[in-house]
Structure 1
Amino acid sequence: MTNPDAESADVLVVGAGIVGLACAYEAAERGLSVVVVERDARATGASVRNFGHACATAQSGKALGYGRVAREVWLRLADAAGFWAERTGTLMVARSSEELAVLEEFSDLRGEEAQMVTAAEVAEHAGFGAGVVGGAWLPQDLRVDPREAVAKIAAYLQARGVRFHWNTTAHGIEPGEVTTSRETLHADQIVVATGHDVDRHFPQLAAAHGVQRCALRMLRVENPGGGAIEPAVQTGFSMLRYGGFAECPSLPTLRDRLTRETPDLVAIGLNLMFTQRPDGTLTIGDTHSYATTPAPFEDEELDAAVLRETAKLLGAERLTVRERWRGIYASAPEPFLDATPVKGVRVAAVTAGVGMTTGFGFAREVMTDVLA
């Protein structure tokens, strides 16, 4: 039996990760009353366990469009909510002729959004190990500190009247109401933005869309060279993971070379990249494995591979680790899950590991449709 005095709103969002916050932001921008339900005391999932890198330029299709919208929202929100966000750009480092060929083709595709640079120009940004032959500069990409930004967005929304129910689990989701661990809440429209946990609420929907969990390994290390490294730095392994590079005719040749020379690294889904945190340390990573329920046991070789390859990239003998963590995000054959399992309930999830890059653009499209 529902409580007739339970809190109600125009829009109720389940999940306070970046997609949930983006949906709440879009509803608040339209002057609607919004409630957000989050099972933890703060966001602790994929939205804070990432590089803080909005790499829109390397996306393709819908993700490219969402990413371009999202980076403008990020900058606008940074001013409003008081967190750091800058167009620091992305530096793509090429260490082989095959990688350089892909970047040249990509530069032709993206025009001013992707500019070729020489090996000497690459070295101006950071000290790298031997073998760098050139690269590409993606000036429009931006970075944030996810540990700061997500919390400040929530605080900003709360100051605007969005009501947050922290430490509150959504047990039942039905048209017009959400039964939680504390009370039953009512709303005209409900948006479920729980990322990889969509199967906790709608298992048949998740199965139909092939949603799995992608587990990755990341670390925070001391910067062996000291000094500031403004852009996000990516490599040939990164080119295997982003849709924009898949449009390049030379990518299969690069994939063949990396698979032939480093089959172990390709097998663990290495995306060799790093970003610098405000304290000067580097967030490095990452590896990828897929399962509906990931095994709880951590393979030390995954961290060892990331450390070894990052040290090689930076020309360092070894790296000093300050933190290690596992990230988990939703993965599916299609990069975005946007579905209406029951009337008045929308499920929205980025299922490609690019939530920070595309979430605000994706949420705008979802909420425009929901509120129509």
Structure 2
Amino acid sequence: MVIIGAGIVGLAHAYEAVERGLSVAVVERGDRATGASVRNFGHACATAQADDALRYGLEARGRWLELADAAGFWARRTGTVMVARAEDELAVLREFAELRGPDQVRLLDRSELGQRVPVGPDAIGGAFLPEDLRVDQRAAVEAIARYLAGRGVVFHWTTNAFAVESGLVRTTRGALRAGHVVLATGHDVDRHFPELAERFQVKRCVLRMLRVDDPHGREIEPAVQTGFSLLRYSGFEACPSLSAVRERLTREKPELIGIGLNLMYTQRPDGTLTIGDTHTYDTTPAPFDQEAYDEAVLRETAGLLGVGQLTVRERWRGVYGSGVNPFLIEAPAERVRVVAVTSGIGMTTALGLAPEVLDGLLAE
């Protein structure tokens, strides 16, 4: 099997193929993965998903922990804390707790919330989602690739794939023959199959993210999300009060809704915080970054943490493919699959998605 792309989606398929006893080659245009798989929060947020995303996310959790042990990177079942700063947000969390039950959602009062994570004075309560995971996103993908290489996977680094056919992948270093091919190039699906990208309206979603010092100097295990996050995850769409949250935030914070703010943060193993993020969409994004986006993220995160300002250590833009469906799984040719998570939840779902894709692909 030949897999094109060494991000988390490609590596998930490589891992599943190796587990099934297949010989695997991975083609990657860089000398390591530097895309969406390392530019994220390191958050596997399965609980907040619905439908296929929930199913894939639940399946992926155990695989993340298995791989962390085998490949030697940091991963832990830390859970997620949802911070409510308005009564309508708390109402959504109450409804979500009723839908999912205490094993998946535990409501927190103001005191319990403050014991788990630092919060500003406007926090009124929240919820804890105990089953979610966090991983060291900057180390995990490289560690998985190294582990798979040790199990016999052949990696063709700094190699471009420019043609994919049934049984054949043509690359800048020669042709590779394969019984099956998986193309997992994320938002660059349009570089290989432009008609497919057009049909599924795949665009590039650009995120603005930052790494800052932790102003409180305390260990923060769970991922921390807010009312803005309620608007971005499919699991909350079943909650009747969500419309009130959307209407209020649109009325009170139109500029933040306009830049697609998902106010959240996670703590890295070195104690710094990954914060963000904003979302803008285009087929070919402009190369110019607006400082107002970073200013908004910094201002809102400082308020969430209850501090005056934050010290920035790094800034970057993340890019992932976004489409009309959360997942793009297509067969443009016999024994070929194009696979992309077109909803920004690749870290959450890829390891659960891959087994289902290979079931269908290997049946051909």
Q: What corresponds to 1:54 in structure 2?
A: 44
Deviation of 1:131 (Å): 1.1
Secondary structure at the counterpart of residue 323 of structure 2? strand
Q: Partners of 2:234 and 2:266 in 1: how far apart?
A: 20
Deviation of 1:264 (Å): 0.4
Q: What corresponds to 1:72 in structure 2?
A: 62
Q: Which residue of 80, 83, 86 corresponds with 2:76?
A: 86
Q: Partners of 2:199 and 2:73 in 1: how far apart?
A: 38
1:161 aligns with 2:152: yes
Q: Which amino acid aligns with 1:64?
A: L
Q: What corresponds to 2:348 in structure 1?
A: 357
Secondary structure at the counterpart of residue 42 of structure 1? coil
Q: Which amino acid aligns with 2:329?
A: D
Q: What corresponds to 2:302 in structure 1?
A: 311
Deviation of 1:43 (Å): 0.4
Secondary structure at the counterpart of residue 32 of structure 2? coil
Q: Which amino acid aligns with 2:362?
A: L
Q: What corresponds to 1:270 in structure 2?
A: 261
Q: What corresponds to 2:140 in structure 1?
A: 149
Q: Partners of 1:127 and 1:188 in 2: how far apart?
A: 52
Deviation of 1:208 (Å): 0.6
Q: Partners of 2:322 and 2:343 in 1: how far apart?
A: 5
Secondary structure at the counterpart of residue 257 of structure 2? helix
Deviation of 1:371 (Å): 1.2
Q: Which residue of 307, 322, 328 corresponds with 1:337?
A: 328
Secondary structure at the counterpart of residue 332 of structure 2? strand
Q: Partners of 2:200 and 2:60 in 1: how far apart?
A: 24
Q: Which residue of 258, 265, 276 corresponds with 1:285?
A: 276
Q: 1:316-366: per-residue Cα shift (whole Å, max 9, x none)?
A: 110000000000001011000000011121101100000000011111110
Alpha-carbon RMSD across the aligned residues, in angstroms, is 0.6
Q: Partners of 2:314 and 2:8 in 1: how far apart?
A: 22
Moved more, 270-279 or 104-113: 104-113
Q: Which residue of 15, 30, 34 corresponds with 1:25?
A: 15
Deviation of 1:86 (Å): 0.5
Q: Which amino acid aligns with 1:105?
A: E
1:100 aligns with 2:116: no
Q: Structure 1 unaligned runs (5+)?
A: 1-10
Q: Structure 2 unaligned runs (5+)?
A: none
Q: How many residues align?
A: 362
Q: 1:205-226: per-residue Cα shift (whole Å, max 9, x none)?
A: 1101111110010000000111
Q: Partners of 2:327 and 2:117 in 1: how far apart?
A: 35
Q: Partners of 1:284 and 1:103 in 2: how far apart?
A: 22
Deviation of 1:71 (Å): 0.7
Q: What corresponds to 2:314 in structure 1?
A: 323
Q: What corresponds to 1:39 in structure 2?
A: 29
Deviation of 1:127 (Å): 2.2
Q: Which amino acid aligns with 2:21?
A: G
Secondary structure at the counterpart of residue 46 of structure 1? coil
Q: 1:109-153: per-residue Cα shift (whole Å, max 9, x none)?
A: 111201101110110123211111110000000000111111000
Q: What corresponds to 2:228 in structure 1?
A: 237
Moved more, 302-311 or 171-180: 171-180
Secondary structure at the counterpart of residue 116 of structure 2? coil
Q: 1:97-117: per-residue Cα shift (whole Å, max 9, x none)?
A: 010000000111111201101
Q: Which amino acid aligns with 2:49?
A: Q
TM-score (norm 1): 0.97
Q: Which amino acid aligns with 2:165?
A: E
Q: What corresponds to 1:7 in structure 2?
A: none
Q: Partners of 1:99 and 1:27 in 2: how far apart?
A: 42
